[in-house]
């Protein structure tokens, strides 16, 4: 205890925008985050990002998973905030570093980097 772990991550389901929590299975350190919405197949793992907990090919083909990766370390980013300012607002965060990305600020990203 004491160090910040991935348990502290505020991961939202990209579809329901509900907080995802770690599911502790016996002996499994790598349990993914899961959505609290009943029947939701969406999972998030810090190494592979969002994925579906199903083997059903049709479902897998129909679902378009968001792929936002960190520009610093290429880690799959997670949805941390949504709809706080506008309906389409999304804030993505990197699980490995402090990088974040919003869909609103995407066009200014290069400028901001140049200033920093």
Cβ of residue 103: shortest distance to Zn ion, in angstroms?
Answer: 17
Q: Which residue ranges make up the site for Zn ion (CB under 5 A)?
A: 13, 15-16, 35, 37, 40, 42, 70, 72-73, 75, 94, 96-97, 99
CB-wise, 1 or 110, nearer to Zn ion?
A: 110
Burial-class residue 96 by CB neighbours within 10 Å (0-12, 13-18, 19+).
middle
CB-wise, 70 or 79, nearer to Zn ion?
A: 70
d(CA 67, CA 80): 14
Burial-class residue 37 by CB neighbours within 10 Å (0-12, 13-18, 19+).
middle
Cβ of residue 77: shortest distance to Zn ion, in angstroms?
Answer: 8
Cβ of residue 20: shortest distance to Zn ion, in angstroms?
Answer: 8
């Amino acid at each position: 205890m004491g160090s910040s772990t991935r348990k502290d991550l505020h991961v939202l389901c990209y579809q329901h925008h509900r907080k995802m929590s770690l599911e502790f299975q016996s002996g499994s350190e790598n349990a993914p985050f899961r959505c609290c919405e009943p029947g939701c197949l969406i999972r998030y793992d810090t190494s592979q990002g969002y994925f579906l907990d199903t083997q059903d090919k049709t479902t897998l083909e129909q679902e378009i998973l968001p792929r936002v990766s960190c520009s610093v370390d290429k880690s799959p980013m997670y949805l941390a905030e949504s709809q706080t300012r506008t309906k389409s607002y999304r804030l993505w965060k990197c699980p490995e570093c402090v990088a974040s990305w919003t869909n609103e600020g995407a066009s200014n990203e290069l400028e901001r980097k140049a200033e920093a």
